[in-house]
Amino acid sequence: MANRRNLVSPEFKADPFPFYARLRAEQPVCRVELSIVPGIREAWLVTRYDDVVAVLKDARFAKSREYSRKKPWLPPFAKPLERNMLDLDEPDHARLRTLVHKAFTPAMVERLGERIQNITDSLLDAAEPKGAMDLVRDFALLLPLTVIAELLGIPVEDRHKFHRWTKASIRPASAWNILRAVPALWAFLNYLRRQFRELRTSPREGLLSALVQVEEAGDRLNEDELLGMAVLLLLAGHETTVNLIASGTLALLEHPEQMQWLRANPAAIGPAVEELLRFCNPLETATTRFAREEVSIDGAAIPRGAMVMAVLASANRDEKQFDRADELDLTRQNNRHVAFGLGAHFCLGAPLARLEGQIAINTLLRRMPKLQLAVPVKALRWRATPILRGLEALPVKF
């Protein structure tokens, strides 16, 4: 059943939830043909909440691609990208996370609230006189991209390049897309190497400079690790938040009674965003893992070296974990969603994504009381990307 599905097609991304519901009921651990990692053509989908939680916490599922039966292909110049904490196991993961955490602290994120609010207001100031906008291009993308570029300390004149580079890097792993991505990736890494050279001699404000300088017990990041971490922070620092803001807004527009309730209760934005994370799933699956040994889940024997995808979007709609799992309920209590993962690889940027989502959505609802879709829902196109789930565009009027 599953192996004939194109799980990264725009049509599938528009509504993957009925398919995952059938898998939870009939085949909760399912082998599929899936091109997510270059050179690897199959994966095992894990779809039930309890099983997803178990996979995310189980050390038998490694992050390092060295455990894969088939070694994924990367152009030689891009090998440093594997030296990021998301693709490494202990003790390397803990070492890198400790170093990065010194530069990316919750206290630093808290101090960003006023700046995020100012950027949000300036973007809506620019859109308001027009009476309409593409909420992805003009708002949901620009807010987190501006924030992460400022955090990293990227010069203003260079920031327009970054979305183009990252967009090329996250397309599905077809031969054509890989070929298209190589020049962008080459330019991206060369740019970062130049930045590191400058920052070693002339430190300045920003995470890139902090990562170049950071040490822990005499340890520091080498150049490959710096490249891997910078790319990870940029991708993770804006792509998922774009999807949270845009898909969350669409969910509210499709549930006007929930949208009106949130307008009347803006102080409830915290739990409301948690429900939007659960319901919309900006990350459809966790990042890839590889079985260190044969592992049995729900009677399915996953062979050693197989690639495993924990489907967060399915776990967050599991009817055994959530009452009325397919309903949007902004007042939901005890919302133990897994939108940011779990365990050692829980998303380091979760506090920032939450803060950006809360400020963006509350401000949008307050300032745009007549916000509505400018096209039919069926005309919306979803991005053909692995792991992520998000809209290409969201035309709205107000």
Q: Which amino acid is at 40?
A: I
Q: Is the peptide bond before 91 cis (omega within 30 degrees of 0)?
A: yes
Asked if residue 358 lies in contact with residue 210, where contact means CB atoms within 8 angstroms, the answer is no
Q: Return the pLDDT at 320.
A: 97
Res 292: pLDDT: 93
Positive or negative, the CA dihedral 336, 341, 346, 350 is negative
pLDDT at residue 175, rounded to an integer: 45
Q: How many CB atoms neighbour CB 365 within 10 A?
A: 19
What is the residue-level pLDDT of the chain in tens, covering all 398 positions?
445 578 889 999 999 999 999 999 999 999 998 765 555 678 999 999 999 999 999 999 998 777 666 655 566 666 666 666 667 677 777 777 777 776 667 777 778 999 999 999 999 999 999 999 999 999 999 999 899 888 888 888 887 777 666 665 545 444 445 556 677 778 888 888 888 888 888 888 888 888 888 755 566 777 888 888 887 777 777 788 999 999 999 999 999 999 999 999 999 999 999 999 999 999 999 988 999 999 999 999 999 999 999 999 999 999 999 999 999 999 999 999 999 998 877 787 888 999 999 999 999 999 999 999 999 999 999 998 888 999 999 999 99
In this predicted structure, what is the pLDDT of residue 347? 82
* Integer Cα distance of 193 and 145 in angstroms: 20
Cβ-contact 280, 247 below 8 angstroms: yes
The per-residue pLDDT for range 115-174, each reduced to its tens digit, is 999 999 999 999 999 999 999 999 999 999 899 888 888 888 887 777 666 665 545 444
* pLDDT on residue 224: 82
Residue 169 pLDDT = 55
CA distance 16 to 14: 7
Residue linked to tokens 């991005």: 383
Residues 227-248 as b or e (16 or more Cβ within 10 Å = b): bbbbbbbbbbbbbbbbbbbbbb
Q: Give CA–CA dist 247/51, Å, rounded.
A: 26
Listed in order, strand segments (DSSP E) in 257-327 are 289-291, 295-297, 300-302, 307-310
The boundaries of the domain holding residue 234 are: 2-397
Q: Compute CA 30 distance to the chain's CA centroid, rounded to the nearest angstrom.
A: 23
Task: Give the contacts of 326 (CB within 8 A, at least 6 positions apart).
Answer: 17, 317, 319
Q: In angstroms, how far apart are the furthest CA atoms of the chain?
A: 60
Task: Assess contact for 309 and 8: CB atoms under 8 A.
Answer: no
Tell me how far the alpha carbon of residue 129 is from its chain's centroid. 32
Query: What pLDDT does residue 215 have?
Result: 53
Domain count, the chain: 1
Can you give the pTM of this predicted structure? 0.87
* CATH number of the CATH domain containing 15: 1.10.630.10
What is the rounded distance in angstroms from the CA atom of residue 33 to the CA atom of residue 31?
7
- Phi/psi class of residue 384: alpha, beta or left (left: φ > 0; alpha: ψ in -120 to 50)? beta
